[in-house]
Amino acid sequence: MWRHLNIKQILGICAAITGIAVLIVGLPSWIWMLATGGFLIWFGWLLFTTKW
């Protein structure tokens, strides 16, 4: 398994994790509340309108 992981993939994963951490720490809480509320509205509407 470790032979298939190259340095570019490891660096890409580290960069993505670092970017997410910077966003979480840097953005004010009201932006996160807006994003979470918007996601819940979208997800609820998707569940409501989807016919199973």
- Encode pLDDT of 1-52 as tens digits: 556 767 888 899 999 999 888 888 888 888 888 989 999 999 999 998 987 7
pTM tops 0.75: no
The rounded distance, in Å, linking the Cα atoms of 14 and 8 is: 10
**Distant-in-sequence, close-in-space partners of 24: CB < 8 Å, separation ≥ 6:** 32
Residue 41 to residues 1, 34, 45, 47, Cα–Cα distance (Å): 40, 10, 6, 10
Residue 10's identity, in one-letter code, is I
Predicted confidence at residue 5, as pLDDT, reads 67
